[in-house]
Amino acid sequence: MSRVARWVPPASLILSLVGLGASIYLTIAHFTSPNVLACPANGTIDCALVTTSAQSRFLGMPVAVLGLVWFIAMTALCLPAAWSTEHRLVHLARLVGSIAGVAFVLWLVYAELFLIGAICEWCTVAHVTAFGLFVIAALTAPALLGEPPDE
Amino acid sequence: MAKKRTTAQKQRARLRQQQRAAEALPKNRADRPGAAPSRRSTRRSSARWSWIAVGVVVAVVAGMIVLSLNRSTPQSTDRGSAAAIAKVTNVPESALAKVGIPKNLPTIPHLPAGTPPVLQDGKPVVTYVGAEYCPFCAMERWPVVVALSRFGTFSNLRTTTSAANDIHPNTPTLTFHGATYTSDYLVFSAVETHTNRPTSNGGYTALDPMTPEQQRLFETYDRQQYTGGTDGGIPFVMIGNLYAWAGATYNGDTLNTYTFDQIANLLTDPSNPVGREILGAANQITALICDLTGGRPASVCSAPYLQQAQKGP
């Protein structure tokens, strides 16, 4: 029997898929042209500025690709079968992955606000979904990784 | 009354549940009376930590947003329109011809005879090393873009301004960061090493690293003996193995009193001092590039006013 609320698996899967879609879009833009992004350039919001900045790479890897890989992994970890599995490692991986994801999002938000000086709408979609996944993973972790239920 | 009964019932049920759970404990835990409530409280404590973690993330993001909104550091914000950028890359020949190469422009230093050719994919290379914060880079990009647009095509050119906390603050300009250039006659190798955003230690945030070849040319030829300027000064522009200079080749001190769009419009008005300065410098750079490409394309390099320009050693 599942140890999480009924809404958790579909909600997390939807968030993962939305984030996956945004990261696919950003990856395509990275390897083609930042101009393909449907995004205004009005000073505060400027996707091309963000996606071509020095901070658009992390340890030499394009951040868009890192996001894509992360969302693929989180989508797998948020499938209904993954939520209902008894394998503790799956739940641990989801929690650790979401913590790593949200930590990276904090760095990227800092970079956008203080280093680049512009916000990328599509990146923000990915950031919000990563945060949503972190919230779900954090709040379900005690039930999934704690002692088994009494009854 | 009904509510009170319900609460009492709930409490009794919870007690029964705890007792059952305690009885159901594995033998190795039998010596831990009260294990079930402790387990529940552990889970409750874990849940509390989960909420705290979520709250910390929310607080950090909110804090960053508030700090960024209240930041006192001035930001360069002038962003020209795409139509204005197109005016810079498509200056009418008639306007350029009307200005020609003014006599008051400084002579661009020749590199010594015997300087090895600078080639990429079999084409001569025009090298640019600059930074977005640098006001003289901001000035020099205007004629460089006008001149290079006569030999090829820029894409993804964007606008920016020089730093707000330097001399000639907020000079509107273009940036080569993220831009590409294609030409049948030459290669344009450009790098913007820093943004216009100050850091807390008095510098500017890093942007693009130089390629090894850019680094080599910069370290070898951006020297007073070649450019006549300070060692390592920017903007550093090198026309193949023929010419090199550091700094702006015209007087652009008043550029920051205009917006980007206004300057772009002045490029079709040779009677205006700003337009005349930029177009004159662009013609001079065009002539140097014609020297590099061997007069190709003829449609550009055969203009009489370019023929009178300085030639290599």
Percent of chain B with pLDDT over 70: 81
Q: Are residues B96 and B59 in the same domain?
A: no
SS3 content of chain A, % helix, strand, coil (to 5): 70, 5, 25
Least confident of A55-59, B101-105, B202-206: A55-59
Higher pLDDT, B203 or B45: B203
Residue B229 and residue B285 in one domain: yes
What value does the mean pLDDT take over residues B154-179? 90
Q: Which of A129-138, B42-51, B194-203 has the lowest mean pLDDT?
A: B42-51
Indicate if B65 and B104 belong to the same structural domain: no
Residues B134 and B216 in one domain: yes
Collapsing DSSP states into helix, strand and coil, what is residue B173?
Answer: strand
Boundary (domain end) residue, out of B46, B69, B92 = B69
Mean pLDDT of B42-65: 84
Q: What is the pLDDT of residues A23-41, one digit of tens each?
A: 999 998 888 766 677 777 6
The Cα A138–Cα A95 span in angstroms is 6
Domains of chain A: total: 1
Q: What is the pLDDT of residue B26?
A: 42
| Domain annotation covers residue B176 | yes
pLDDT over 90 percentage in chain B? 57
Q: Would residue A146 count as lying in a domain?
A: no
pLDDT score, position B2: 44
Which is more confidently placed, A143 or B22? A143
Q: Point out the residue among B155, B178, B206 whose CB comes nearest to the CB of A52.
A: B178
Whether A3 is covered by a domain: the verdict is no
| pLDDT confidence band for B209 (50 / 70 / 90) | very high
The parent domain of residue A37 ranges over 8-137
Query: Cα(B10)–Cα(B3) distance, rounded to whole angstroms?
Result: 10
A95-104, B76-85, B267-276: which has the minimum mean pLDDT? B76-85
* Pair B257, B205 in one domain: yes
Residue A54 lies in a domain: yes
CA–CA separation, B238 and B246 (whole Å): 9
Domain count, chain B: 2
Is the per-residue pLDDT at A50 higher than 90?
no
Please report, rounded to a whole number, the percentage of residues in chain A having pLDDT higher than 70.
Answer: 89
What average pLDDT does this structure show over B201-207?
87
Measured distance CA(B240)–CA(B117) in Å, rounded: 7
pLDDT of B279 > 90? The answer is yes
**Lowest mean pLDDT across A50-59, B31-40, B240-249:** B31-40
Which of B1, B217, B16 minimizes the C-alpha distance to B124? B217
**Using 50, 70 and 90 to split pLDDT, how confident is the model at B89?**
very high
Backbone angles phi, psi at B166, to 5 degrees: -125, 180
- Check CB contact under 8 Å for A113 and B64: yes
Instruction: Name the residue in chain A with its Cα closest to that of B23.
Output: A150
CA gyration radius for chain A? 17
Asked if residue B89 belongs to a domain, the reply is yes
Q: Do residues B161 and B120 both lie within one domain?
A: yes
Tell me, yes or no, whether B77 lies in a domain: no
Residue in chain B closest to A138 (alpha carbons) equals: B50
Q: pLDDT tens digit string along B5-45?
A: 566 666 666 656 655 544 444 444 444 444 455 666 666 67
H or E element, residue B91: none
Asked if the C-beta of B205 comes within 8 angstroms of chain A's C-beta atoms, the answer is yes
Name the packing angle between helices A63-77 and A8-31 (round to 10°).
160
- Peptide bond before residue B270 is cis, with ω within 30 degrees of 0: no
- Distances in whole angstroms, Cα of residue A103 to Cα of each of A137, A138, B234, B293: 14, 13, 37, 52
Nearest CA-CA partner of B36 in A146, A89, A139: A146
* b/e B54-74 (16+ beta carbons within 10 angstroms → b): beebeeebeebeeeeeeeeee
Residue B116 neighbours by CB distance under 10 Å: 8
In a domain, A19, yes or no: yes
CA B73 to chain centre: 18
Report if residue B75 sits inside a domain.
no
Inter-chain touch A147–B43, beta carbons under 8 Å: yes
Residue with tokens 């390629």: B211
B43 shares contact with chain A (CB less than 8 Å): yes
Mutation site, A37, A57, A147, interface B, largest B CB count within 10 A: A147
Query: Could you give the 3-state DSSP secondary structure of residue B136?
Result: helix
Q: Write the CA distances from B232 to B216, B223, B224, B265, integer angstroms.
A: 12, 6, 8, 33
**SS3 assignment, position B211:** coil
Residue B312 domain flag: no
Interchain proximity A150–B36, CB inside 8 Å: yes
Q: Specify if A143 maps to a domain.
A: no
Q: Which domain holds residue B111?
A: 82-307
CB of B41 within 8 Å of a chain A CB? The answer is no
The answer as to whether A100 is a domain residue is yes
Band (A145; pLDDT cuts 50, 70, 90): confident
Please tell me whether residues B206 and B92 are part of one structural domain: yes
| CATH code, domain carrying A34 | 1.20.1440.130
Mean predicted lDDT score pLDDT of chain A: 86
| Lowest-confidence pick of A30-39, B130-139, B205-214, B270-279 | A30-39
pLDDT of B202 strictly over 90? no
Whether residues B98 and B19 fall in one domain = no
Residue A144, domain member (yes or no): no
Distances (CA, A) of B23 to A149, B34, B38, B41: 14, 10, 14, 18
Whether residue B167 is found in the same domain as residue B22:
no
Same domain, B263 and B302: yes
| Nearest-angstrom CA–CA distance, B313 and B310 | 9
Which residues, in sequence order, are CB contacts of A101 under 8 Å at separation 6+? A70, A74, A130, A133, A134
Q: At what angle do helices B35-69 and B2-23 cross, to 10 degrees?
A: 110
| C-alpha to C-alpha distance for B60 and B62, rounded to whole angstroms | 5
Q: Is the pLDDT of residue A47 over 50?
A: yes
Counting one residue from chain A and one from chain B, the pairs whose CB atoms sit within 8 A come to 82
Whether the per-residue pLDDT at A44 is higher than 90: the answer is: no
Q: How high is the ipTM of this complex?
A: 0.82
